[in-house]
Amino acid sequence: TAVSATGNHNALVGEKHRLSAEIERIVQGHLKYKYEDVSDGWDLIHQEGEMKVYRREVEENGLVLDPMKIFHTIKGVTGHEICHYFWEFQYRMEWETTLDSTKIIEVLDPQTVVFYQVHKRVWPAAQRDSCFWSHIRSFTSSDEDQPTWLVVNYTTSHLLAPIKSPQVRIVANVALICETVINEPPLNPKDIKRENIECKLTYVAFVNPGGWVPSAALRSVAKREYPRFLKRFSSYVLEQTRDKPILF
């Protein structure tokens, strides 16, 4: 990773740090949630090629809290590669077009960093910012299968990122979960080519932009922006990896 420690105030105690327990809880929650059926209470709001975007309309006190669940299959890349480009700081400004700035304000462990980001202002709305921990990991359901990769971004508060009015803080809980499928495996695993691999991706998001935004406007923006983001990001990863050795 290209991340360097920004200080020693996060002193690791063994492998644990102040956010370890929370991260574990949120990650496990996403893994359980991922397998929940979308047939009940979810609307398929967009379909495009392999991509399917589902939404559940949830409102509390007039505030839109719609969870989104997107399934996509991307040929020619692995789950590790997708998660690598999503998590690693140095690529972010190349595929994320909605930011004015992004920076790491704390490194909690080699798999977890805290980001502070300022989002592009969409006039006439107030400018948004975000502060979240970002965690990457891989795990195997059995030693016989390809590992699954996952990145979770989850809103947190931080001394180095105070909320400054009139800026509005975005609240987000996002997970990118990727499984690699190897089609037509060759006799020797070393002969696997990009044309034989695909990544099955699940993107789960609970995002609230903060402040007050009309429900209808928010829903139409979400419907348009999530597919757009996933297409842009996946074509970026395809472009980056095309001529590189496969990162399994």
Partner 1 sequence: SFRNGDFQGRLFKWTNYLHGWQERYLILKNGFLNYYKSEVDIGLGCRGALSVKQALIQSHEFDECRFDIRVGDSVWYLRAHSPEDRERWIQALEDHKQLCKSESGYGSETSL
Q: Which is nearer to partner 1, 18 or 193 (CB)?
A: 193
Minimum distance between the CB of residue 200 and partner 1, rounded to whole angstroms? Answer: 8
Pick the closest to residue 92 from 74, 116, 72 (CA basis).
116
88, 89, 92, 94: CA torsion to nearest 10: -90
Minimum distance between the CB of residue 141 and partner 1, rounded to whole angstroms? Answer: 10
Minimum distance between the CB of residue 49 and partner 1, rounded to whole angstroms? Answer: 17
Minimum distance between the CB of residue 198 and partner 1, rounded to whole angstroms? Answer: 12
List residues near partner 1 by CB under 8 A: 142-147, 181-182, 185, 187-189, 192, 248
β-pairing verdict for 99-109 and 171-182: unpaired
Q: Which is nearer to partner 1, 102 or 138 (CB)?
A: 138
Q: Which is nearer to partner 1, 147 or 210 (CB)?
A: 147
Minimum distance between the CB of residue 206 and partner 1, rounded to whole angstroms? Answer: 25
Q: Which is nearer to partner 1, 134 or 180 (CB)?
A: 180
3-class state of residue 107 by DSSP: strand
Q: Which is nearer to partner 1, 69 or 135 (CB)?
A: 69
Helix, strand, coil abundance in the chain, percent, nearest 5: 25, 35, 40
Between CA 188 and CA 185 the distance in angstroms is 8
Between CA 205 and CA 186 the distance in angstroms is 36
Contact 54, 45 (CB under 8 A): yes
